[in-house]
Amino acid sequence: MSLVLVTKREALVLADPRRRSADRAGEHLLHRRFTADELPRLRVQVEECAAWAGLSETRRGDFVLAVDEIANNAIEHAGGTGSLLLRRIGDELECRISDSGPGFSEDVIPRILPGLDGATSGRGLWLTQLVTDRLVISAGAVGAVVTLAMRLR
């Protein structure tokens, strides 16, 4: 078990729904840039926001795992940093992760579990597609944008 410290300001934003922003695109729960050093804190924040939004405990673990896989990919393959936007849109919890790497398409997601087909990469994308209700990969202004979502109910 690891201990992750959250600053007082971060705790206030996560704990107080009045401090969250909303627009026609949904309720913004968390918006931040991240690096490898910040991944443990990011996982905690995503889990807290997912709980607050009403994602069931069983699905919450899968959601945090999927977000972590995509965030790790941004760090490993796209320059060491990324940006995360977590929001509640209707009955979905949506996470959008963008990076400034070379970009990629959904074609890189293996059809079967990587390793069984000889592939040495793609496990995180394969797993994310398996556990989420929606996964979209698109080109950003620079790099890739990966959007994953789970229904809350």
Percent of the chain with pLDDT over 70: 72
Q: What is the per-residue DSSP string for 74-131?
A: HHHHTTSEEEEEEEEETTEEEEEEE--SS---GGGS-SS-TTTSS--S-HHHHHHHHH
Q: Is residue 17 part of a domain?
A: no
Q: Which domain holds residue 52?
A: 28-151
Q: Is residue 51 part of a domain?
A: yes
Q: Is residue 94 part of a domain?
A: yes
Lowest-confidence segment of 14-18, 50-54, 59-63, 97-101 by average pLDDT: 14-18
Sorting pLDDT into bands at 50, 70 and 90, what band is 147? very high
Q: Is residue 57 part of a domain?
A: yes
What are the Cα distances from residue 128, in Å, to 119, 121, 139, 152? 17, 13, 18, 17
Among 7, 81, 74, smallest CA distance to 37 is for: 81
Q: Is residue 23 part of a domain?
A: no
pLDDT in tens, 56-112: 999 999 999 999 999 999 999 888 999 999 999 999 999 999 998 887 667 666 666
Separation of alpha carbons 121 and 101, rounded Å: 17
The pLDDT score that the predictor gives to residue 124 is: 79
Q: Domain holding 101: CATH number?
A: 3.30.565.10
pTM reported for the whole predicted model: 0.79
* Domain total in the chain: 1
Q: Is residue 1 part of a domain?
A: no
Q: Is residue 5 part of a domain?
A: no
Strands 144-151, 92-98: pairing kind: antiparallel
Residues 96 and 147: beta-carbon distance below 8 Å: yes
Percent of the chain with pLDDT over 90: 52
The pLDDT score that the predictor gives to residue 125 is: 86
Sorting pLDDT into bands at 50, 70 and 90, what band is 119? low
Q: Is residue 67 part of a domain?
A: yes
